[in-house]
Amino acid sequence: MFSAKNTEKEMIFNGIPVSPGIAIGEVFVANLDELSLSDKKIDKGDVEEEIRKFKRALKQTEAELKNIKAKLARDIGEDHARIMDTHLMILDDSTMIKETEDYVRTELGNAAYALDIVLNKTLESFASMDDQYLSERAEDIHDVKRRIIRNLLGQAQEGLKDLRRKAVVVAKNLTPSDTVGFDRKYVQAFVSAIGGSTSHAAIIARSHGIPAVVGLEDFTHKVRPYDNIIVDGITGQVILRPEKSTVKLYEDARRRFAEMEKELLTLKDYPAVTLDGREFELSGNVEAIDELKDVSSHGAKGVGLFRTEYFFITRSSPPSEEVQYRYYKDVVKEMAPECVIFRTLDIGGDKIADWITNVDEANPFMGWRGIRFTLSRKDIFRSQLRAIYRASAHGKLKIMFPMISVIEEVRAAKQICGEVKEDLLKERYKINEDVEIGVMIETPSAVALAPHIAKEVDFFSIGSNDLVQYSLAVDRGNSRISYLYDPLHPVIIRFIQDTVNAAREEGIKVGLCGEMAVSEGALGVLPLIGMGLDEISAPSYLIPEIKKIIRSVTFDETRTLVKKILKFSTPHEVRELLSKYIKEKRSELTEFIPKVALDK
C-alpha cells in the first residue's frame, strides 16, 4: 500500500481508510519496540527457579489479560471482550508451556529466550500462510509472547493507557489489548502498518468514532515519536511531517468535514425520498448489539444486515441456543418496532472461529463457508435458527441465508426452518410463525438463478462485496490485482439489475447490504437508486450521506443513467457518465466524492 511521494520534510502515504474523519497531531508510537533477548545460559542448579519464574510470569500475564477483558466488557460490550479469549487460550497452551520448560531444562536457556524460541516456531508457520484471519491470530500470539517476556524481565509495560497527551497512535498493528486502556480524549486517530477493514483496529476505531487508516506497509520504518502527522480516514491518505501549507489545507478539510457531518445529521428524521417521490428504506449494517444505538441516531430504520458470525468468532466454543436466544432477543427488543435482518452464520473464508477444525483450504473464499458450512453442521444451524425464532416473539425480524450458489441450498435451509418451527411449537414456545426468509445474492450463479430463487423466498439482499469478488474473479485482499475489484463495473450493474428484475417479477423485496452503496460517495449510490432497489443497508455513520444523495436526485434521472450504463463495457465509461451527470446537474454532490487533499 506504500505509495509515497516525498520530500525530506513531507511524506505522503496511501493506505486503507477504515474509519472516517481527519486528524492532525503528533505521533505516539505504540508497541514498536523489539525486545532484545539474551541467550545467556543459566546454571544447572537454577533450572527449577527459572521455571518457577516462568510460571509466575504466566500468572501475572493471565491477570493482565483478564483485567483487559473486563475493561473491554465495560467499555464496548461483552462481544468485543471475547476477543481476549484467544489470548487467554494461547497463554494456557500446554504444548507452549511444556516446550519452554523442556528448553530451560535441556538447553539451560533462560526462560524469556526459551519462550521466544518456542513461539517463534509457531509464528513462522503462520507467516507462510496467506490468510488474513491467520495473520491476525499470529499477532495475538506475538502480543501474548511480548507480555510474558516483559513480565519475565520485569519490564514496565508501555501502551496506550500511558498516553497522557493528544496524539495520533501509530503501530505495526493494534491488538485489542493495545487499545483497551486508552483514553478517548487523548487518541486522535489510529494508523497501523497491517490490518484490513475487519481487523481489530478497524472495529475498535469505528466503535469509538476515531479516524483510522490501516495497511500502511513500511510506514512504521519512517515514523518517529512526536513527528507531526495528518490522518485522512476518508481517503486513506496519511502525511508524515507535513509542510505548513499542507496542515492549513487539512485544517480546512477537517472543518468542512465536521460542518458537513453536523449538517447531514439534521436529516436524521427525514425520509430517504428522491425529488420525484421515490422512497427508499435505509438501514444499518451491524456486528454487535452495542452498535445498535448508532443505527437510529444516524437516521436508519432498522438493521438490514446483522452479522451473527461475530458472536461465534469471539468465543472459544459455539454459543448455546439459550445464550444466542438471549442475545438475539435483546437485539430485536432494542430495535423495536423496526426490523432486524439476521444473517445466519456466515463463517469460513477469512472468518474462522477457534472451535472450527479441519479448515485448511487452498481457496477458502470458494470453500466451506456460509450456508455450505451450516448445512454440513446442522447441529449448529438448528441451534441458531431455534434461537432466532424464539427471539421473533419479542420484535420484528427476518432470516437471511448467505453464500447461496444452488437452489437446493435454499430448499434445504427452508426445510430446516420448517422443522425448527414445528419443534418449537410442539415445545410450546411462543414464536412468530410468519418470519420472512430471504437469501443473499452474492454469487454469479445466484444471479442467474434469481428468477427461480425468487419463487422460494420472501426477499433478496444483494451482497455487493462478494458479488464483485466472484463475478470479476478477483480476491479483494490481493494487492496485485486489486485494480480489478470494481463495484462500478458494468457487469456488476447488470447483475444487480437482473436481480432486481427477478424480484419484481415475483413481487418480493430486494435490498443491497454491501459496501457498493458507499463506494466513491455519490458515484456508488446513484446506480442503486436508478435500479429501483427497495432498501439500502450500510454502516450507520454513512447513512446520513446516502440519505442526502437520495434526496438530491430524481429517480427518473438515475434510471436514465442506469439504462445507459447497461450498454457500457468498461468501468471508465460508467464513472465518466456519473461524474458528468453530477457536474452538470447535481454539482452539490461533488462534496461527497472522496478525493485526496494532496496530489503531488
Q: Concatenated DSSP letters for 454-506?
A: TTT-SEEEE-HHHHHHHHTT--TT-GGGGGG--TT-HHHHHHHHHHHHHHHHH
pTM over cut 0.95:
no
Residue range 428-461, pLDDT digits in tens: 999 999 999 999 999 999 999 999 999 999 999 9
Q: How far is CA 20 from the centre of its chain?
A: 14
pLDDT value of position 375? 96
The cell numbers describing 371, all together, are 450456508
Q: Which residues pair with 342 in a beta bridge?
A: 306, 399
For the chain, which ranges sit under pLDDT 70?
A: 1-8, 31-38, 75-76, 126-136, 154-159, 161-162, 175-181, 195-201, 203-204, 207, 314, 349-354, 357-359, 476-480, 482, 593-600
Strands 187-192 and 272-273: unpaired
Residues annotated as part of the active site: 200, 513
Task: Identify whether the C-beta of residue 214 lies closer than 8 Å to the C-beta of residue 196.
Answer: yes
Residue range 347-391, pLDDT digits in tens: 876 666 667 766 677 777 888 889 999 999 999 999 999 999 999
Task: Identify whether the C-beta of residue 511 lies closer than 8 Å to the C-beta of residue 458.
Answer: no
